[in-house]
Amino acid sequence: MSIEAHFVQRFAGFTLDVDLQLPGRGVTALFGPSGCGKSTLLRCIAGLQMAPGGRCVVNGEVWQDGAHTLPTHRRPLGYVFQEPQLFAHLSVRANLQYGRARIPVAARQVDWDRAVDLLGIGHLLERRPAGLSGGERQRIAIARALLTSPRLLLMDEPLAALDVARKKEFMPYLERLARELDIPVVYVSHAPDEVARLADHIVVLEAGRAVAAGPLAEVLSRLDLPIHLGEDAGVVLEGVVVEREPAWHLARIAFPGGCLWVRDGGQGQGATVRLRVLARDVSLALSPATDTSLLNSLPVVVEQVADESHSALALCRVRVGSGASSLLARLTRRSAAALALQPGTALWAQIKAVALIG
């Protein structure tokens, strides 16, 4: 199962030129700075932006091949915009029914109750959009898209219009949707924290071109990533809760390569969790630290060292291996020289528990 997307689209001062093979399952993030072509690529996939000579195939179904192209209304997709675009004069229930009515009964793959439960909107059905928060309106928009039984869900920065509190409230719904529905999602974002929590696969765009693509953990651990993440540089780890200490509100997570103590997110023992470890919160030492407040210390081996060419400061990044996993550390070039860092150097990585995001 795969999504093939080949488009060349020229504008004044900008050209989108991509040739991508994306997974036909899970969440693929289109990531990069504003103006890099993320939304344009999404619109090309949807058929809202015509790219003559392009090709788009979704899990074996040809949506565009050169001059042959399906119009948007004939493509089995759901599209969620930055703004919810609900019908203000209709109730939430009527907004949902509008999307569902497009699909013949025999072709409906997403059950009404399932969509309502996934997005937690059962108590909102009789209300009008004007009386809802931004996060509630966006959940309605996603439910309406799901009720069209799409074979591909496209999401264009759905959290961009929400404040920090609403984003935090909204994120668990997106995580549950990605986890429980077998519908591939292409998700546009320029926010590293959103991508780290949601994506399985990532395409990094810069100036209309894909400069990196692959599994999330693999791409984020690259030191040669062409775009500058700075303070947001880090890796994503998948792990399992193996121990909880309620008295200290801590949980111990086992991942391929070791264990880490993190803030207890309430997940039960045995639950699979995702952690984001920022490079700025990893320090390196030649021997294990004692008498320290740091809870996490892992034996690692240096895999690669690279200067930060984007930085005006004397910084470098180091990728270290812990078993089958990699971590990034961000430190001064002076510190790297003092530790005589080079591939193969054995070290200890020290990580703050509070810096790990589940």
State the average pLDDT over residues 10-23.
93
- The pLDDT tens digits of the residues spanning 89-106 come to 999 999 999 878 878 887
Quote the pTM value. 0.89
Structural domains of the chain, with CATH: 2-220 (3.40.50.300), 234-357 (2.40.50.100)
CB burial of 263-290 (b: ≥16 within 10 Å; e: otherwise) equals: ebeeeeeeeebbbbbbbbbbbbeeeeee
Average pLDDT over all residues of the chain: 89
Minimum mean pLDDT range among 182-196, 263-277, 280-294, 308-322: 308-322
- The pLDDT tens digits of the residues spanning 204-263 come to 999 999 999 999 999 998 888 877 777 788 899 999 999 999 999 999 999 998 999 999
